[in-house]
Amino acid sequence: MARIPITEEALIERYGPHLNRTPPGGWDADVEYDRIVDTHCCFCGQQCGIRLKVRDDEVIGFEPRYDFPFNEGRLCPKGVKRYLQGSHPDRLSEPLERDPSSPDGFREVTWEHALARVTSEIQRIQSEYGPDSFAVLSGVSLTNEKSYLMGKFARLGIGTANLDYNGRLCMVSAGAAGKKALGVDRAANPWSDIPLADVVFVAGANIAECHPITTSYIWRARDRGAKLIVMDPRVTPIARKADVFLGVRPGTDLAVLDAMLHVVVREGWIDSDFVAEHTVGFDEAVAAVADATPEWAEGISGVPARRIEEASRLWALSPTGILLHARGIEHSTKGVDNVLACINLGLAAGKYGKPGCGVNTITGQGNGQGGREHGHKCDQLPGNRDITNPTHRAEVASAWGCEESEIPGKGLTAQEIMNAIHAGEIKGLLSICFNPLVSLPDAGFTREALDRLEHYTAIDFFLSETAHHADLVLPGSLHEEDEGTVTTLEGRVVKINAAIPPPANARRDWEIICDIARRLGKGRYFEYTDTEQIFDELTMASAGSAADYAGITWERVVSEQGVFWPCPEEGHPGTPRLFEGGQFHHPDGKARFLPTPWRPPAEETDNDYPVWLTTGRVISQYLSGTQTRRIGPLVDQYPEPLCEMHPQLANSIGVSDGDLVRVTSRRGTMVAPAKVVETIRPDTVFIPYHWPGAQSANLLTQRALDPVSKIPEYKVSAVRVEAAGGRGDVRDDRDLTLHLEDRT
C-alpha cells in the first residue's frame, strides 16, 4: 500500500523541506573546530575537493581544499553551503513505518521491526508474483562501494533482474555511444587537457550552472587564444564569450552535427591518415550525411548555414580541439546518435589521443562515472561487463563465488520499471538515492504508479517526495557520514572521507543493505565489516574488464590525489588520457564511425502546442532537490521555477517579466512566473526541474525513450504557454542582498 498516508501539506509540515540557514549553534557560535576532514563535495560529477570543519560530531563549516588538483579550492555555491545539510531539522534518524492514523503519517519503529518487515515483504511478493516482481532503484550519488553493493544485493540478495539507477536519466546516452564507437565508457581526457585546446566546442552543456568549475578550464584555454563554439537553445553565461554561437532549436542538434561532418568531408578537412589507421566505418558514416548540407540543417535547426560552416572550419582546422557535451544533446530520443555524431566529428578531425584533443561527456551526477561501471544498471555487471554476455557472467560469478545461473538476466531500465509498476507487473520496490517522483518525466504518471505498489521501502536521509509513498523508510547516511570512493567526470578515482557518524539511529547505507541480505539468507555474499573490503572486492571483480580498477587501492587514491582508470595492475600509473597513439578499446584497436541519419524528436510542435519546452538545472539546486531545497541560502538564490521566455513570445501572449504563465503539454500543466529574457530562442521556453508537486517541470515532459540508452527525452516537449493572471513573487539582486541583511 504505497499511497501517501496523510496529506502532502501535512507531510511537508512535518518532514520538510524546511530551510536550514545557519551552522549548528547559529552564526554567533564558536568557529573553532576540533577536526578538519579532507573530502569532496557531494554534488555533481566534478567532485571538487573540500575540507569540512567538525566540532562535536557536527559539520560547522568548510575551508577551500587548495591542494586538490582538479579545483584548487574553487567551489560553486552548492559546495560552499553543502555543510548546512548536516544537523538539519529534517534529517531522518529513526526507521519509520507508514501509519495513516498518526498525525505525522508515519510512526517510529525499531530496526528489528523494520528489517523483519522489509524482508518478509520481499519474500512475500517474490513468492506470490515471481522473483522479478520486486524491483530495486538505485542512484549515483552513492560511492563506488555502495554502487557495487547495490548491484550484488539486487542480483544475489533479492534475486531480481529489475535493478536500475538514476544514471539512466543522466549519462547513459554517452555511455552507450562510447562503448559502441570507442570500446569504453569514460571521458577521453583529464580536464587539464582543456586549456591545451585551440578550439573548445560545447554542445548542449550549460557549463556555468551545471559544471561550474569547468568554466575555469575553458577560460584558461581562452587565455591561450582558443576559439569557443557553443551550441544551445539559450545564450548561456559561457556562450557570452563564444566565437561561434549555434542557437539550435530543441531536438535538432543532430542536424547541425551531421551538417558539420558534411562540411568537413566536402571541404576535405578530414585527417585522412588518422581515419585510415585508427578507424573503420568512415564511408558509411559519410554516406549518412551526404544530403546533410548546412542549408538543409538551417531549415531544421534554425542555425544559419554559415555559422555551421564556420564552426566546422574551426573544429576541423584548429590543431587541437576538445568537444564537451552533456545532457543538452543526451536527454533525447536520439541521445546516443547525438553523441555518436560528436564522436564522428572527433574521429574525422583526428582529435583523439593527443594533448588538448578529445570528445568528452561532462558527467552530471556525483558518482555518475563510477556508478555506471560497477553494476547497478539493469544491463550490466561490475567492470562495465555485459549481463547478457556468457563470458562476462562467468567472470563475475567467479568473483562473487556463486553459480553463473544465480545471476539474473537483463532487467528493465528505470522508466520501464516505473511503467511496469503502473501496469501492475512489478509489485514491490526498494529505492535508495533516487527521487523518481521529481526526476522522472510525466510526474502525474509516476504518482499513479507509486500508488499501485503493494510494498515500497525507501532508504533515505531526508523524506523525499517519492518516500512520501513509502511503507517503510530506513534512515541511511549522508555523504559526510561514510567513507568510500567515487570516480569523477575525468575518470579519476578519489576518496570520500567520513567527517561525522550518522545521527541517532540512522545507519550507514551499506550496513542496512548487508543486514537485509543476511535476513534473506544470502549473508555469505555480504560478509563485509568495512567499506574498504567492498572496494577491494570491486577492484578484483573489475580485473580484466573494460573498466579495470585492479591496480587501485585506497592508499594510492589518497597519496596520489586520485588514480585514473584503467589501472590494470599494481604499480600501473593509471590512465589520465585515453586513446594515446590512436589506440581505441575495441579488440582491433580501432574506433568505429557509426552512421547517424537525421530523425525528428518524439514530439513536435503543432497548432495546439506551438512552443518548444526544454528543461534543465540552475546553479543553486541539485537534481531533485532533496538536499538543496533544504539549504536556505541556496533556496534564496533561486526559490522557485521560473519560465524563461523571449520577449517576442511574452508580447504575443500579453505577459511581462514576473507575470504568471500557464504552461501545458499533452501530459500536464503548471503555473510559473515568466522570466523574460532575450537569451533564449523565441520559439522555446525553459523551466528548471528541481521542484515537486505543482511546481514540477516533469508534469510536462514525456516518457519517450532513446531506443538504445532508454534515456527520456527531457529536452524536447511541445507546450502551450498562456497568461495565467496575477504576478509571481519576483525578486532581483537588491532584494536578495537586503534579505540576507534582514535576517538578523
Partner 1 sequence: MITLTAPEQAVFAVDHSRCIGCRACVQACSECGTHRGVSLIQLDTVDRLHTTQTVPMVCMHCENPTCAHVCPADAIKQTEDGVVQSSLQPRCIGCSNCVYACPFGIPKYIARFDQMMKCDMCYDRTSEGLKPMCASVCPSDALWYGSREEFERNRSGTLVRDWKFGNQDVRTKVALVVDEPGPIDIFIGRTSRHWLDDPFGLEEMADA
List of residues contacting partner 1 (CB under 8 A): 22, 27-28, 31, 61-62, 64, 66-67, 73-77, 79-81, 208-209, 212-213, 215-216, 219-220, 222-225, 235-238, 240-245, 247, 304, 619-620, 633-634, 637, 646-648, 657, 675-682, 732-733, 737, 740-741, 743-744
Give whichever of 478 and 631 is closer to partner 1, judged by the CB atom: 631
Give whichever of 65 and 715 is closer to partner 1, judged by the CB atom: 65
Q: What is the full DSSP assignment across 415-450?
A: HHHHHHHHTTS--EEEEES--HHHHSSSHHHHHHHH
Give whichever of 64 and 693 is closer to partner 1, judged by the CB atom: 64
Q: How far apart are CA 96 and CA 470, in angstroms?
A: 9
Give whichever of 192 and 679 is closer to partner 1, judged by the CB atom: 679
* Contact between 372 and 151 (Cβ < 8 Å): no
Q: Minimum CB separation from partner 1 for residue 726, in Å?
A: 21
Q: Minimum CB separation from partner 1 for residue 678, in Å?
A: 5
Chain Cα centroid distance, residue 344: 24
What stretches of 7-99 show up as alpha helix (H) in DSSP? 8-15, 77-81
Q: Minimum CB separation from partner 1 for residue 66, in Å?
A: 4
Grid cell at residue 601: 524528436
Give whichever of 176 and 680 is closer to partner 1, judged by the CB atom: 680
Q: Minimum CB separation from partner 1 for residue 84, in Å?
A: 10
Rama region for 504: left / alpha / beta (φ>0; ψ in -120 to 50; rest)? left
Q: Minimum CB separation from partner 1 for residue 612, in Å?
A: 14
Give whichever of 632 and 693 is closer to partner 1, judged by the CB atom: 632
DSSP assignment letter at 197: -
Give whichever of 233 and 566 is closer to partner 1, judged by the CB atom: 233
Q: Minimum CB separation from partner 1 for residue 26, in Å?
A: 8
Q: Minimum CB separation from partner 1 for residue 298, in Å?
A: 14
DSSP assignment letter at 245: E
Q: Minimum CB separation from partner 1 for residue 736, in Å?
A: 8
Q: Under DSSP, is residue 592 helix (H, G, I), strand (E, B) or coil?
A: strand
Grid coordinates 549515483 are at which residue? Answer: 140
* Contact between 662 and 626 (Cβ < 8 Å): no
Q: Minimum CB separation from partner 1 for residue 141, in Å?
A: 20
Give whichever of 237 and 444 is closer to partner 1, judged by the CB atom: 237
Query: What are the residues facing 38 on neighbouring strands?
Result: 51
282 closest CA partner among 595, 588, 583: 595
Q: Under DSSP, is residue 466 helix (H, G, I), strand (E, B) or coil?
A: helix
Give whichever of 35 and 224 is closer to partner 1, judged by the CB atom: 224
Q: Minimum CB separation from partner 1 for residue 340, in Å?
A: 27
Give whichever of 86 and 375 is closer to partner 1, judged by the CB atom: 86
CA distances from 95 to 114, 471, 665 (A): 7, 11, 39
Give whichever of 354 and 675 is closer to partner 1, judged by the CB atom: 675
Q: How far apart are CA 692 and CA 10, in angstroms?
A: 15
What stretches of 606-687 show up as alpha helix (H) in DSSP? 632-637, 647-652
> What are the DSSP E strand ranges found in 619-683?
643-645, 659-664, 669-676
Q: Which helix (H) or strand (E) holds 687?
A: strand 684-688
Q: How far apart are CA 393 and CA 415, in angstroms?
A: 25
Q: Minimum CB separation from partner 1 for residue 309, in Å?
A: 14
* Contact between 672 and 663 (Cβ < 8 Å): yes
Burial class, 28, CB count within 10 angstroms (exposed 0-12 / middle 13-18 / buried 19+): exposed
Give whichever of 225 and 581 is closer to partner 1, judged by the CB atom: 225
CA angle 333, 350, 183 (to 5 degrees): 50
Residue 734: partners with Cβ closer than 8 Å, 6 or more residues away: none
Q: Minimum CB separation from partner 1 for residue 82, in Å?
A: 10
Q: Minimum CB separation from partner 1 for residue 632, in Å?
A: 11
353 closest CA partner among 176, 45, 588, 576: 576
Q: How far apart are CA 162 and CA 164, in angstroms?
A: 7
Give whichever of 48 and 724 is closer to partner 1, judged by the CB atom: 48
Q: How far apart are CA 665 and CA 702, in angstroms?
A: 9
Residues in the chain: 744
* Contact between 322 and 197 (Cβ < 8 Å): yes
Amino acid at 540: M
Q: Minimum CB separation from partner 1 for residue 239, in Å?
A: 8
DSSP assignment letter at 668: -
Amino acid at 566: P
Query: What are the residues facing 459 on neighbouring strands?
Result: 432, 474
Q: Minimum CB separation from partner 1 for residue 667, in Å?
A: 27
Give whichever of 80 and 397 is closer to partner 1, judged by the CB atom: 80
Q: Minimum CB separation from partner 1 for residue 677, in Å?
A: 6
* Contact between 263 and 232 (Cβ < 8 Å): no
Q: Which helix (H) or strand (E) holds 344?
A: helix 335-348
Give whichever of 123 and 679 is closer to partner 1, judged by the CB atom: 679
Grid cell at residue 120: 518478509
Q: Minimum CB separation from partner 1 for residue 155, in Å?
A: 40
Q: How far apart are CA 539 and CA 569, in angstroms?
A: 10
Parallel, antiparallel or unpaired: strands 492-496 and 244-246 = unpaired
Give whichever of 169 and 643 is closer to partner 1, judged by the CB atom: 643
* Contact between 315 and 542 (Cβ < 8 Å): no
349 closest CA partner among 423, 279, 271, 405: 271
Give whichever of 247 and 368 is closer to partner 1, judged by the CB atom: 247
